[in-house]
């Protein structure tokens, strides 16, 4: 089932409406595979004349998050970063503090250990996030030259 269909189904189920603006945003979110923030998305839409306001971008992103088609992350620089879930199983992030590039990694063993930590604390995990900040390969290459 396509992401579009999933979203429409979510809307229907929740008594919400399928509008031109929501379609535009949906298309923009799923045609790129990068991480983005709300304003970037707004500007991309504006750039191609999609006619969607900033307010609607925020409101629709909230819906996409609620319907689990998009993940929202607070990476600690004040604004939220989003990524769509399509073809992106759970993962964590390496964040370059020089070029802001975001790399993804997944390490099942770490996940297992997190689970163990929760058991020790009798803590029911709902989600987790893990960020490693540092300097990526490319930036280090540039620096050393």
Partner DNA sequence: ATCCCTGCAAATCGTTTGCAAGAGC
Partner DNA sequence: GCTCTTGCAAACGATTTGCAGGGAT
Q: CB under 5 to 8 A by kind: which of its own copies, DNA, none does 68 bind? A: none
The C-alpha atoms of residue 131 and residue 106 are separated, in whole angstroms, by 12
Q: State the minimum distance, in angstroms, from the CB of residue 75 to DNA.
A: 10
Q: Which of 66, 68, 128, 142 binds its own copies (CB under 8 A)?
A: 128
CB distance 75 to 59 below 8 Å:
no
Contact segment (CB under 7 A) with DNA among 12-20, 85-93, 100-108, 126-134 equals: 12-20
CB distance 73 to 81 below 8 Å:
yes
Q: Is 23 left (phi over 0), alpha (psi -120 to 50) or beta?
A: alpha
* Residue 54 parent element (H or E): helix 54-66
79 binds DNA, rule: CB under 7 A: yes
75 binds DNA, rule: CB under 7 A: no
Residues that bind DNA (CB under 7 A): 11, 15-22, 37-39, 51-56, 58-60, 62, 78-80
């Amino acid at each position: 089932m396509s992401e579009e269909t999933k979203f429409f189904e979510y809307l229907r189920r929740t008594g919400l409406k399928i509008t031109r603006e929501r379609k535009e945003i949906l298309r923009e979110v799923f045609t790129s595979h990068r991480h983005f923030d709300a304003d970037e998305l707004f500007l991309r839409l504006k750039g191609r004349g999609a006619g969607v306001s900033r307010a609607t971008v925020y409101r629709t992103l909230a819906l996409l998050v609620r319907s689990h088609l998009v993940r929202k992350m607070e990476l600690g620089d004040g604004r939220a970063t989003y990524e769509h879930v399509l073809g992106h199983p759970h993962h964590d992030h390496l964040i370059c503090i020089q070029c802001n590039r975001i790399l993804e990694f997944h390490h099942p063993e770490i996940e297992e250990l997190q689970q163990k930590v929760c058991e020790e604390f009798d803590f029911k995990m709902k989600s987790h996030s893990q960020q490693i900040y540092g300097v990526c390969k490319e930036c280090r290459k540039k620096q050393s030259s």
